[in-house]
Structure 1
Amino acid sequence: MIPWTLLDTAQIPGGGELRLMRRGTEFSIKLGQNELMNSRLSGSEQALATLACRRIQTRERPRMLIGGLGMGFTLRAALAVLGPKAEIVVAELVPSVVAWARGEMAEMFGESLTDPRVTIREEDVSQIIRSARAAYDTILLDVDNGPEGLTRESNDALYDLKGLTAARVALRPGGVLAVWSSGPDPRFTQRLRKAGFDVNEVPVRANGPRGGARHVIWTAVRPD
C-alpha cells in the first residue's frame, strides 16, 4: 500500500493545525486525528450545493456565500448548476487552504477559482454573515464536521441561536441556509426552527449513489 506523505501544515487562527496529506492521487486534510475531508469522498459536499441550488437557481442573479473552501467540491457543484449571472463568495479562514487549492491540489480544482462568478475572501465567514443584511440567496456552511466548533471553538457562534438569527438576517426572503454535518443533531434542528427557519433535514451518503458513511444536510429556509 502506498504510504501517506505530509505535504504541508497550516495554523488555524485561534489554535490548531491542519495537515495536508497525499497518497498517490488521493488527498486528505486532517485536524489532529480527525479527517476533515478526503478527495475520494465528495458526494455529501456536492449535495450541500445542489440541495440549496434547487431553491434559488430560477432567480435571475442568485448570490451564494460558501463558508469553507476545503477541496472545492461544494464550489464546483454550485458552478455546475448556477447560471452565468450567479455570484459566489467563498470565505476561507486559513490562507494556506487557498494556497493548496492553487498549488498541490490545482488539478483537482481546475478552473473553478478563476471562474468570473467566484470571489475568494480569506476571512471568517461569521464576520461576513454578521455584516450582511438580505445580501444572499443562500449560505452554505461546511467549516466543521457538524453544527459545533470542531476546527476552532469560536465557530460555535455560527450555530448558536444568535448566529443562526444573523444568518437569517443575511438571507433574502425565501433564501436558504444549508449546513453539512457528519451526523444528526436534533438540538440543532430545534435551534434552526427557533431562529425562524422552515427546516428540512436531509440524509445523504458520503460517496453519493455509491454509498459510504451517512451524513446530514439541513436546508433551512427563511420564510418570504
Structure 2
Amino acid sequence: MNRRLKIASAQTPGGSEMVLYQHDCDFSIQINGQDLMHSRQNESEQELARLGCAHLADINSPSILIGGLGMGYTLRKALDMLSPNAQVVVSELMDDVVEWNREHLGKLNKQPLEDKRVELITGDIVELISGSRNRFDAILIDIDNGSSAMTDSGNSRLYSHKGIYACRLALRKQGCLAVWSAEASKKFEQVMMNCNFNVRRFRVPAYKGSKSRSRFVWVASENKSILPPGGGEPRLPFKKESKGNRRPPRRR
C-alpha cells in the first residue's frame, strides 16, 4: 500500500492552510488537519445536484449556478442531468481549487470544467448572486462546511437572511435553491423560511452504499409543487402570545 502524498497546499482567505493529498487513486482535501472532502465520499455532493435539478428534466435551456467547485462531483452530476443547451455557472472563491481540479481532480469526473456548457467565475459568490436578478432556474450551494463556516468566516454572509434573500431574487419564478451541509441547523432552516421559501430537508449518505445518512441537503422554492418528493418539512417555531395580546375568550 502506498503512503499518502501531499500534492499541493494553499492558504484560504481566512488564513488557514488547505492541503490536497493523494493516496493511491483517492484524493482528499484538509483544512488545518481536518478533513474537508474526500473523493470516496461523494454521494451527498451528487445528491445536491439530483435534488436541486430534479425540476429541470424537461427544460430545454436551463440556467443554473453552482457555488463551490469542490472536487467536481456536483458539477458532473448536474451536467449529466441537464440538456445540451444548458448554461452552468460555477463560482469558486479560490484559484488554487480550480487549478487542482484541472491538474489532478478532473479525471475523477471526466474533466467537467472542459464541458462547453460551463462558465467558471472565480471570486465572491455573494457579489455574483446579488448582481443576478431573475437569472437562474437552480442555485446549488456547497460552500465551506455548510452554514457553519470552516474555510472562511466571511462565507457566513451567504447563509444569512440577506444572502438567502439574494438567492431568492436571483432565481426565476419556478427556480429552486439547494444547499449542502455537514450538519443539521434549525436556525438556518428558519432563515430560509423567513425568506418566504417552502423548504424540504433531506438526509443523505456521505458515500454510496452507506446506511448512515450523515449529510443534509435543503431544497427551497417559492413554488411548493416543484420541490422533490420526500424529505422533512421544517416549521417555524410557535410563538406564544403575550398576555397583553391575548384575545378574550368567546362568550357562549
Bin for the TM-score computed over the shorter chain: over 0.9
Q: Note the 1:22-37 alignment, pairs <5 A.
A: 22-37=22-37
Look up the equivalent residue of 2:93 and give its one-letter code.
L
In 1, distance between residues paired with 2:167 and 2:211?
31
Corresponding residue number in structure 1 for 2:51:
51
CA distance in 1, matches of 2:106, 2:60: 31
RMSD (Å), alpha carbons = 1.5
CA contact (8 A) 2:59 2:83 kept: no
SS at match of 2:116: coil
Contact 2:14–2:151 under 8 Å retained in 1: no
CA deviation profile, 1:38-59 (whole Å, cap 9, x unmatched):
0011100000001111112222
Query: 1:182, CA displacement in angstroms?
Result: 1.1
Q: Distance in 2 between matches of 1:129 and 1:208?
A: 32
Q: How far has the Cα of 1:105 moved from its partner? A: 2.0
Q: Which runs of 5+ in 2 are unaligned?
A: 225-252
Within 5 Å, which residues of 2 pair with 1:203-218?
Answer: 203-212=203-212, 214-218=214-218
Aligned residues: 224
Larger Rg, first or second structure (1 or 2): 2
> What is aligned with 2:83?
83
Residues 1-224 of structure 1: matches in 2 within 5 Å? 1-212=1-212, 214-223=214-223
8 Å contact kept, 1:147–1:179: no
CA distance in 2, matches of 1:88, 1:151: 24
In 2: Cα distance, 1:114 partner to 1:106 partner: 9
Task: Measure how far apart 1:126 and its partner are.
Answer: 1.3
Amino acid at match of 2:196: G
Normalised TM-score (structure 2): 0.85
Task: Write out per-residue CA displacement over residues 134-183 of structure 1, whole angstroms, 9 at most, x where no aligned residue.
Answer: 11011111112121222101100001111111110011112111110112
1:43–1:205 Cα contact (<8 Å) kept = yes
Could you tell me whether the CA contact under 8 Å between 1:205 and 1:212 is conserved in 2?
Answer: yes
Residue 217 (structure 1) shift: 0.2
Secondary structure, counterpart of 1:159 in structure 2:
coil
Query: What are the superposed Cα offsets for residues 2-48 of structure 1, whole Å, 9 maximum, x if unpaired?
Result: 32211111122242221001111110011113211100111000000
Question: Which residue identity does 1:103 align to in structure 2?
Answer: E
- TM-score w.r.t. the length of structure 1 is 0.95
Deviations 1:89-127 (A, max 9, x none): 101111011111111223213231111111111112111
Q: How high is the sequence identity, in percent, across the aligned residues?
A: 38
